Each structure stands twice: as structure tokens, then as C-alpha cells.
Chain A
């Protein structure tokens, strides 16, 4: 009597019904360029920024920080220009988040100098006594593992050669370990002496944070 006595037919029908909404709202948009537009102004992450992004993911920063500024007046006032789809073209995965226990970070790049981040990351409570952000001082005590950096950027399709990746790493190491580095004092304060000439996980994480919202500013000013 009907499909309630035919389990296989029932299952096939249930799957078909499930796939209708899935096809219209998920599969078809995957094939539409309008869902994920690209812009020549938005560049992929460097190998160091990508390592920083992976640390951001490892520590679950996305559980407390969003990365989408909504087109609402007070939100634009607080965080800056609202988010555009183009700026996420290289984000695998997206890190928009779902809860703002801490502030949105989509436009945090360039908002503070590196020194601010070194101090804040090492102890948020030293900077803001009542902050509930976990301290991340230990990130400065971990040397950055770059052994998979090239493999990561090739999986992500950034189009870097192995030499490009080495160059990016060396270049960033040179800039943050340089005696004239603007945030040298803060960096030295949080980094143990034996790692001051190396890249640490905190260096990479800050490189990533400084990239957020950076490229899209060029795109917006040219529009």
C-alpha cells in the first residue's frame, strides 16, 4: 500500500526531494560567476600570510571573531567599509564566523601597527584589563613551520613557484628581524632571544591580520 511499504523507493524519493532545494540554492550558484566574483585588485595570500591564516584556523579564532562587515550604518561606522564578495575569492575556507564575542576583523589590516598586535596578542588583559580574549603569548615561542608552505600554496592554486615561496618567507623574516623594523621593541619583548632572528607563529598570524581588508581598499578607491 503506497510507498510506506517500499523502503527503497521511499529512500530514493526522499533523496530526490532533498536534492531539489540543494540544486537550486547550492549547486547552481556554484556554477554562477556572480556568486564568487574576482577582482584584479585582490591578490592571494603570501606563503607567510597563509601560514598565519592556518594558525588563525588552528586556534579557532573564527569562533569569536567574524570577518564580514554588514551594510549597516553602525557597523560601517565601527569597522569600516562593508564586505565585498571579491575579497574572499582566495579564502578556502571562508572565515566569516557566526558569533562576535570579539570585534569583526574583516577590515583590521592596517588599523593598528604590528607592535599593537604583538602586545595585544601576548596579553590582551595588559592592554584591556577586562577583556575576555585568551592570551596567546606562546605563539611567539613557537618557530613557524614552513615545511609545507609551498605545498599549501600549490593546493590553493596561488600560482607561486617553490622559489617564490622561499623568497616570500625570507623577505618577511628579513623585514621583521631587521634592526629598523618599526615594531622591533614590542616584538623583542614577546619573542624569546633565540627566536628573534627566526619567524614565529605570532609573526605569521600578525602578517595575516595585516592583510585583512588591505587589497579591497585599492579596489574600492578605484571604483
Chain B
């Protein structure tokens, strides 16, 4: 407790949970990166690639991503409403249940309890726990909002509300399943319908976890850390509602040229192109906020993180819709190109913005200064270089594999057997691993910097 009686204990708890799951998830990622060119690392069943991949995606998406979102949401919620959390004990219980769920989730996925529905792989008992902690979060969000002392809700609060509502719908509809045992269930949907439901979920979980709350952070912490107001309130209103509306139509661009009815694919394609507009609404809003103050890119280390982050968001939201076009999709889908695409979003946009938000927030809730701005700059450059090398390598690998799959001899027969198209990628996989190591070192610097920050003696309470 401090300031106006704001609860920072839960904020700190979630922030350091996020850092913990980030490090674990990245170690698993590095291990898998080596498995891609050296299968000898598949030492035991639970270290085999097929099982590790879901531990990696769930550990980082749900573990790191959600914890970072909860930490910053609880902070923004209190500051933007000028109201302490309505139910601090509930929030503390949320923290414990969340970490227990992620730990059990990781263990169960290691053990092969895997529903295989992408980004929703947890088995049914853990699905219930996820719903429970989501409701606990929502109670505090809406309770605090209703009690608030600040009449107007700022942009960031809209995005938090949007996420809270949409994730609830997505998670419950997608995970309707019939249990067989405690550890095994079958989804209620089948075949093409199951694919359609799952990618509606899979795409929008990205939208409402890796976009909405990250934009909430961007709209709050960018003005806070630069001292500059957001360029256009009106633009942010249009962007918010257009994004909220259009996102849900686009899931089937993950199912181009599959047996799903063509009209669903085509609708998804059209709305994917439409999505460029609201996405770039936020990008433009971010850039114009710095108008006339671009020197902050040199003088303010936080501005660098936010502007690099929103730039990757902008690239991501151009690349995504283009990949969704049927013709381009026929070439790029199922290759490493898409892996590169996803990682630009997560390693670039999401991590950059969460990093800067933590750098702004953690010293303030501890009444200390950041341990070292120099280290924060080092962290920035390491993750920037690591991420860009990583993603560009995968794009090139994807183009090569896509072209090799399609190459034919003059007589019309296939030029390469499948194995050739895999083994020719090993040099890229080695480079990808090296880039991952650079990125990981950057993250270790980040974690170290924050640990050293909270270990300092607090200054006089302001």
C-alpha cells in the first residue's frame, strides 16, 4: 500500500511472475530451436519437440503474456480511476491461482495432456481454473470501474474492458469439451467446424491478448513516460471500435484452401485487409504523439521501446493481412515464414511494450530509481538485434522452403523430395538459434535490471 492507498503488492507479484515465466519459456524455446537441426536433443518423451512446442507457446502466451497484462492492468486500473482496487484480497488470490494454473499447465503439457487445439491446449480441469481466475480479474476490473473517482474512462480502460469481455467469450466457446477422464476430453465440435471454431479462437486470442492489452499499455505508458498527450482522441475511438468489430471475422485466414467452405475464407480475407486501417490508426496515433519531440528517441530510453514496439506492430499488421490473401497464403502457409511473422509480434511488439511499461512502473511502485539506464539501453539493443535477425532468418527460410515445395522439372514432376526441403533449412535454423541466444541475453539483462531495482532501499515515500 502506498500513494492513495493503491495496491501495488499484486502488481509487483504479477510483474515478477511474468519475468519468471518469460525466462522459462525462452529456455524451452532455445532448446527446441536446437532440436530443429539436432534431433538428438529429444532425449526423453517430455523433452520431445511435439510436447515442448505447446509448453513454449502456453508458457509465454499465458504465463508471461497474461502475467504482464495483469500486472499492468491492475496498475493502470487504479491510476486511471484514481481508486484503489476494490477487492485487494481477491486480486492476491488471483495471483496465486494464476501461477498454480500456469505451473500445472506446464507440467500437464510436459506429460502429454494436450487437447491439440492451438493456444487452447490445456485439458478441461485447467480450463475451468482459467475461467475462474479470469472471473476473479473481471470482478476487480468492473468493481473498481463502477466505484471510480475519475468520471471519464481513458482509452486504455476501453482496451482492458474489451479484452476482459472478449477473452471470456472466446475461451469458453472454444473449450467446450466432453470429459472422458480427469486428464482427457474431446471437443464438442468436429472436422471443419472444429477447425473454424478453433481458428476463430486462435486468431482472436492473439487479438485480445497480444493486441488489446498491449495497446492499453501503449496508450497509457507512452504519454506517461514522454510527458506528451496522445495525438488524437477521436482517432483512438475509431480505431478501438473498428478493431473490436473486425477482428472476429478473420480467423479463417488461417484455413485458406482447406475444406472449410470458401465463403468463410473469403470473408476472412476481406476483413483481414480491412484490419489494416484500425491497426494503423494506433500506429499513426503513436508516431504523431512524438511529433516535434523526436529527440526523445535519443534522450528517453522508454520512448525507444515504445516507438520500436509500435513499429513492429505496424509491420505485423501489414504482413498479417497480406499473408491472409489466398494466392500469397498458398505460398507462405505451413512454412517458417509464418513462424517469423508470429515472433516479430511477440518478440518485437509485445515484449518491447511490456518491457518499457515495467521500466516505468516498477521503480515507481518501489519508490526507487531504475537500477541502470545503461543496462536498459543494452537490453533494448540486444532484443532488437536478436529479434530482427531471428525473424528475417525465418522469412528467408520460409521463402526458400515454399519455393522448393513448388519447384517442378520441365516434365512437370517435383524437383525436390520433402527431406531436401527440410535439410536445406538447417543453416537458417542454426542462425535462428544464435539470434535467440542474443535475444535471451537481452532478456536476462532486463530481469537483472528489475531485480536490482527492487532490491534498492526505497527513497522517502513521496
Binds A, one of B213-221, B238-246, B360-368: B238-246
- A130–B330 CA distance with the chains assembled, in angstroms: 27
Known interface pairs A35-B260, A101-B36, A133-B39; A148-B244 also in contact (CB < 8 Å): no
The interface residues of chain B lying within 8 Å CB-to-CB of A189 are none
The interface residues of chain B lying within 8 Å CB-to-CB of A160 are none
**B311 lies within 8 A of chain A by Cβ:** no
In chain B, residues 406-424, which have Cβ atoms closer than 8 Å to a Cβ of chain A? Answer: 406-408, 413-414, 418-419, 422-423
B258 interface neighbour in A20, A70, A130, Cβ under 8 Å: A70
The interface residues of chain A lying within 8 Å CB-to-CB of B39 are 124-125, 131-135
- A210–B267 CA distance with the chains assembled, in angstroms: 36
User: Are B261 and A29 closer than 8 Å at their CB atoms?
Assistant: yes
In chain A, residues 93-109, which have Cβ atoms closer than 8 Å to a Cβ of chain B? Answer: 93-103
User: Are A101 and B422 closer than 8 Å at their CB atoms?
Assistant: yes
Known interface pairs A17-B241, A134-B49; A84-B36 also in contact (CB < 8 Å): no
**B115 lies within 8 A of chain A by Cβ:** yes
Known interface pairs A36-B193, A68-B258, A92-B189; A74-B422 also in contact (CB < 8 Å): no
Binds B, one of A58-66, A111-119, A162-170, A174-182: A58-66
Give A140 Cβ to nearest chain B Cβ, in Å: 13
One digit per residue, 1 when the CB lies within 8 angstroms of any chain B CB and 0 when it does not, for chain A 41-72 equals 00000000000001001111111101010111
User: Are A26 and B190 closer than 8 Å at their CB atoms?
Assistant: no
B42 interface neighbour in A83, A85, A99, A135, Cβ under 8 Å: A135
The interface residues of chain A lying within 8 Å CB-to-CB of B227 are none
- A77–B50 CA distance with the chains assembled, in angstroms: 27
In chain B, residues 1-49, which have Cβ atoms closer than 8 Å to a Cβ of chain A? Answer: 35-39, 42, 45, 48-49
The interface residues of chain B lying within 8 Å CB-to-CB of A64 are 49-50
Residue of B nearest to A55 (CB): B112
User: Are B264 and A78 closer than 8 Å at their CB atoms?
Assistant: no
Residue of A nearest to B81 (CB): A7
The secondary-structure label for the interface of chain B is: helix
Give A121 Cβ to nearest chain B Cβ, in Å: 12
Residue of A nearest to B118 (CB): A98
The interface residues of chain A lying within 8 Å CB-to-CB of B268 are 25
A20 interface neighbour in B42, B248, B334, Cβ under 8 Å: B248
Binds A, one of B98-106, B180-188, B375-383, B444-452: B180-188
User: Are B161 and A14 closer than 8 Å at their CB atoms?
Assistant: yes
Known interface pairs A7-B142, A138-B45; A130-B419 also in contact (CB < 8 Å): yes
- A7–B241 CA distance with the chains assembled, in angstroms: 15
User: Are B334 and A100 closer than 8 Å at their CB atoms?
Assistant: yes
Most-contacted residue by chain B among A11, A71, A134 (CB, 10 A): A134
Chain A interface residue count: which class? Answer: 35 or more
B244 interface neighbour in A5, A7, A14, Cβ under 8 Å: A14
Residue of A nearest to B117 (CB): A93
- A17–B247 CA distance with the chains assembled, in angstroms: 10
- A61–B418 CA distance with the chains assembled, in angstroms: 17
The interface residues of chain B lying within 8 Å CB-to-CB of A61 are 50
User: Are A63 and B112 closer than 8 Å at their CB atoms?
Assistant: no
**A21 lies within 8 A of chain B by Cβ:** yes
User: Are A156 and B186 closer than 8 Å at their CB atoms?
Assistant: yes
Give A108 Cβ to nearest chain B Cβ, in Å: 12
The interface residues of chain B lying within 8 Å CB-to-CB of A57 are 114-116
User: Are B153 and A7 closer than 8 Å at their CB atoms?
Assistant: yes
**B162 lies within 8 A of chain A by Cβ:** yes
On B, residues with C-beta under 8 Å from A are 35-39, 42, 45, 48-51, 53-54, 112-118, 142, 145-146, 148, 151-153, 157-158, 161-162, 164-166, 169, 173, 178, 180-181, 184, 186-198, 200, 241, 244-249, 251-252, 254-255, 257-261, 264, 267-268, 271, 330, 334-336, 338-339, 405-408, 413-414, 418-419, 422-423, 426
On A, residues with C-beta under 8 Å from B are 1, 4-5, 7-8, 10-11, 14-15, 17-22, 24-26, 29-30, 32, 34-36, 54, 57-64, 66, 68, 70-72, 74-75, 77-78, 83-85, 88-103, 124-125, 128, 130-136, 138, 148, 151-152, 155-156
Pairs A–B under 8 Å by Cβ, sample size 27: A7-B157, A10-B158, A11-B165, A14-B162, A18-B248, A19-B248, A21-B245, A25-B251, A36-B192, A58-B112, A59-B51, A84-B259, A88-B190, A92-B187, A93-B187, A94-B190, A94-B195, A95-B116, A96-B258, A97-B334, A98-B118, A124-B39, A131-B419, A131-B422, A134-B50, A148-B184, A151-B180
Known pairs A19-B248, A71-B257 / 10 extra A-B pairs, C-beta < 8 Å? A25-B196, A29-B261, A59-B51, A60-B54, A64-B50, A85-B259, A91-B190, A131-B419, A132-B38, A138-B45
